[in-house]
Structure 1
């Protein structure tokens, strides 16, 4: 109780007056989501992160956008967005990317399950099920560490926990086959045991960061932890409350949530190096979008105290909104990387838009509930 009271007091002190006097209207949230979704669709094949070629449609970067766009498609007043996703999926013949084990190349499967839930055609998820059946029949013997790997066959980096586990959870839900859950939880626990810092309640991006510091601080990458935090919500959505799987992921979620909220900066966003906002004060919207999604999701599901966490979500959403330019582009998205870096007003990426749309889907629910606030 004492810790809870202290945490509430700290949160109240850090909420700036420029945020507390503003209201979030659900209709405005929806408009902002539409602006970002429309801009990203028009610019879907643009070059990002200094690349010479556009991201492959089945690449993890686009997969994260599809996850967010699927969330918005369910809210939209038109089937336009589902049709766009279906066109992309049909062009790819509902297949996953090329590396058999690599979690990044499995992430696009989340879109196929969203389309299956919408249209009910099992052929949409058949190639995904076939790939995972093969993986489980031929489990990788590679170590969990990044210093000796072959195409990252295990979930050796924390980003992977957003990419592959939610797909396995979807498979378990649709097929009612617990084998997918058992495999997923076993692999997830291996990664957690390897990368989760039990003192800081955060994940290292990979083993190259364990035991290292910069500016006297442990290095916990914002987007990396955002991947994990958002992924936990996506996984829990697939399981019944009280099930073994749900309890496992809920416990981890509740370990991370207070730390995430505590580390929010005055501008409403999160520093790229979570414990070092002094040296990383610049805005960054991809990690921040995933954190906003995760915290709003927790309030909406009754797992987080509304009085404590709603001010954090409010401040975060208003901060994210300031990063949408007049054309609808979400700015200050850190380019592809694996560690804290740089972001600027002219930088964007498809996964940043995905994180924003995920966040908006839960922020909309939070403020659209007239009885909740």
Structure 2
């Protein structure tokens, strides 16, 4: 299928809405919450000790990015369903790691800094200085340096940008916003030669390995679903945190809206998105993480008046219903989660019963999507 230019997609978008509006409705709020509760209960029962190391091909501490994304989702769930065990589980996770970062306070690695999003959320609930110390020291060192090329893979935007935004608000210091913008813009316009973002398609290449002349088997550019999902999450989380008058807010909103215009026509008929957005034949099939992150971003846009509910509500209803009915097992395990990697072929096969190498970040994405949908139903 030929992918139309971004500017010419409005007609196709209206067609998508026409085809889906009658068939798809969001379930009741209690049913959305029930699916999240089930999936989260499965995970918490599987990991009763939040400080336990993660063992796959090697042993890793459990404050790495995969687990940190889960806690983003858990804190979102706690925001709408304030069950004490959720809060205690997150606090115990921070305490078991002494509120530290995987590689220490001198790290500039966004993956290592992702845990800081939850540390700061927990600090705002109970302002114990140890919760803030290490993540602030790490980000402060970056703010004071001249280096701006750290985020050379798009996942990094979601892992680190919200931390800069949180600290900018917490400290009432625009230097955090400014540094975040500088590093972000280097990723967008410099990395890989001319940047990792293609404004023509409204989508991002995952890193320099996938910029042209790299092509998918069908000759199209390689736009990885979850990679673009990470960018969507980064933008909405930053926009959600920053004040309305924060510097450079218009840039994030503009790019977010461009992505929102690009994604609807790429949705599969069953409600999911393929792992390869422009080549559905390259490891095509249902996949939860990218689908959940796009659903999260679209629901957030409706909730904040940036997207037309008549256009986007049928799209996210179809996506959520697909995930809820086809991914969530009766015991809460999530199927169709692509394992870690950076492109369509990684973490395969992706099936209903396949278990990814890490089963935490998929749940985090699912909880982020569900909580925004729950707010939408108010």
TM-score, scaled relative to structure 2: 0.88
Shift of 1:52: 3.5
Aligned in 2, Cα 1:88/1:358: closer, same or farther, shift over 3 Å?
same
Partner of 1:200: 201
1:354 to 2:364 alignment = yes
Partner of 2:303: 300
Partner of 1:85: 90
Shift of 1:261: 1.7
1:225 to 2:228 alignment = yes
Per-residue CA deviations over 1:183-232 (Å, capped at 9, x if unaligned) read 11000000011100111110100011111112211100000000000111
SS at match of 1:36: helix
Distance 2:169 2:82 in 1: 27
Does the CA contact (< 8 Å) of 1:49 and 1:336 recur in 2? no
SS at match of 1:228: helix
Partner of 2:121: 114
Distance 1:49 1:207 in 2: 29
Shift of 1:135: 2.5
**Runs of 5+ unmatched residues, structure 2:** 1-6, 190-194
Shift of 1:24: 1.2
Shift of 1:245: 2.9
Does the CA contact (< 8 Å) of 1:55 and 1:62 recur in 2? no
Does the CA contact (< 8 Å) of 2:13 and 2:265 recur in 1? no
Q: CA RMSD in A?
A: 2.3
1:329 to 2:333 alignment = yes
Distance 1:90 1:259 in 2: 41
Distance 1:119 1:40 in 2: 25
1:184 to 2:180 alignment = yes
Does the CA contact (< 8 Å) of 1:48 and 1:335 recur in 2? no
Does the CA contact (< 8 Å) of 2:54 and 2:61 recur in 1? no
Partner of 1:150: none
1:71 to 2:76 alignment = yes
Does the CA contact (< 8 Å) of 1:16 and 1:266 recur in 2? no
Comparing 39-48 with 58-67, greater Cα deviation is found at 39-48
Per-residue CA deviations over 1:258-288 (Å, capped at 9, x if unaligned) read 1112211111111100011234431110111
Aligned in 2, Cα 1:302/1:200: closer, same or farther, shift over 3 Å?
same
Distance 1:192 1:74 in 2: 32
Distance 1:138 1:291 in 2: 33
**Runs of 5+ unmatched residues, structure 1:** 145-153
Distance 1:4 1:271 in 2: 19
TM-score, scaled relative to structure 1: 0.89
1:264 to 2:261 alignment = no
Partner of 2:32: 29
Does the CA contact (< 8 Å) of 1:159 and 1:228 recur in 2? yes
Does the CA contact (< 8 Å) of 1:219 and 1:275 recur in 2? yes
SS at match of 1:105: helix
Partner of 2:192: none
Aligned in 2, Cα 1:5/1:98: closer, same or farther, shift over 3 Å?
closer
